[in-house]
Structure 1
């Protein structure tokens, strides 16, 4: 296995941009929500740069783009509710697994490593997506952005996971595609691994200083 896995007992994986390219379905829900409010669609290209901080921030960015000004709280709440309604109906219509994800998770799980999902996506969407792609059985715990009082880049979700499984942070690894994943991992004293193909607001994730970068998760094997 990859040298970064030496002495690692627990691996936390991000979801969007790391395991699943979910932007096509996210963009469809964003655009449908904007349409409900009588606003112009944003399009997938913009949404790809807005993903990573949870659904509310995603819709805040979409509204700011559509209105060319800061959205009010009530409008943001309305837009977010509309987004959730649309996304709940079709969370996996056009999303796809990145190459090597299934193979990597299967073999890491078989090797006895504890695998955990830590995403900023609302927790309600996790099970349908994992189930759709046949990944549910690999994860011992799944945390969404609303599972705890704070989400990535705050280290709380990662320190919570380490404590829940009684594993020292020195034996934990955070795998993600964005600076928020790397920042959370470093703040929690985890080792950090980045993939360059996901969503990082248009910036190379290597600039965030992960301990290593792999082009595909199969490089971990």
Structure 2
């Protein structure tokens, strides 16, 4: 796949390079157990992941609090609300996620070979994710992908997250490239909207999460079944 004048590549992490649903499932279910709430199913995580950990936790807390067994607990339960539970949930989630980061996750087929080929072409490369930076750095390291990126930015690296264009613009600035010369590779509408607003060309992988909707319906320059199609 050829894009004229591309000098750099920005790559998303969850759902693009690494299948992390297993990590999310374990960490979130341990968190819910700590809070005395029902477990979270994998489909709910897949629909919700991608907009940052705060959104993930708040959305899933709200979903769990609507479960009949929670609503029907009556006076036996303390007053429960997302706001009341969020701070404790966030602390427990950080603890659990960091303790298992990467253990239940797998690098998608073709990812490392494609990164190696792109790096071999002399392209500047950055990882940009809505995942907290510490989580992202740890995952890239444990999966052997950290060495391909000169820059790594997370959802807490800038004032706003994707789909806002700010993270892409700041990443281009850090790489020293113009947006029009910087390819965004992602798996979701968040990546595409951010890229379009920033002026970056964008390619979406077909196997990611995209909030449970087909990624083929998202406006992009191309869609691929493997990152190897980029090279």
The TM-score bracket by the shorter chain reads over 0.9
Partner of 1:178: 188
Q: TM-score, normalised by structure 2?
A: 0.92
Q: 1:28 aligns with which of 26, 29, 43?
A: 26
CA contact (8 A) 2:163 2:194 kept: yes
Q: TM-score, normalised by structure 1?
A: 0.96
List per-residue Cα deviations over 1:59-112 (Å, max 9, x = no partner): 111111110199432311211111111001001111000010000001100110
Superposed displacement of residue 181, structure 1:
0.3
Structure 2 regions of 5+ residues with no counterpart?
68-79
Q: Does 1:118 align with 2:125?
A: no
Q: After TM superposition, list the pairs within 5 Å mapping 1:30-69 onto structure 2.
A: 30-68=28-66
The 10-residue stretch of structure 1 (116-125 or 61-70) with the greater mean CA deviation from structure 2: 61-70
The 10-residue stretch of structure 1 (65-74 or 54-63) with the greater mean CA deviation from structure 2: 65-74
Q: Does 1:160 align with 2:173?
A: no
Superposed displacement of residue 130, structure 1:
0.9
Partner of 1:78: 88
Superposed displacement of residue 7, structure 1:
1.1
Partner of 1:19: 17
Superposed displacement of residue 177, structure 1:
0.4
- Residue 112 of structure 1 aligns to a residue whose secondary structure is coil
- Partner Cα distance (2:51, 2:87) in 1: 16
Superposed displacement of residue 165, structure 1:
2.5
Partner of 2:213: 203
The 10-residue stretch of structure 1 (118-127 or 159-168) with the greater mean CA deviation from structure 2: 159-168
Superposed displacement of residue 6, structure 1:
2.3
- Partner Cα distance (2:168, 2:137) in 1: 20
Superposed displacement of residue 164, structure 1:
2.1
Specify whether residues 12 and 36 from structure 1 end up closer, same or farther in structure 2 by C-alpha distance, changes over 3 A only: same
Q: How many residues matched?
A: 219
CA contact (8 A) 2:37 2:64 kept: yes
Q: 1:169 aligns with which of 168, 176, 179?
A: 179
CA contact (8 A) 2:62 2:82 kept: no
- Partner Cα distance (1:186, 1:161) in 2: 15
Q: Does 1:131 align with 2:129?
A: no
CA contact (8 A) 1:152 1:180 kept: yes
- Partner Cα distance (1:206, 1:46) in 2: 21
Partner of 1:104: 114
Partner of 1:188: 198
CA RMSD of aligned residues (A): 1.3
Q: 2:97 aligns with which of 69, 73, 87?
A: 87
CA contact (8 A) 1:194 1:213 kept: yes
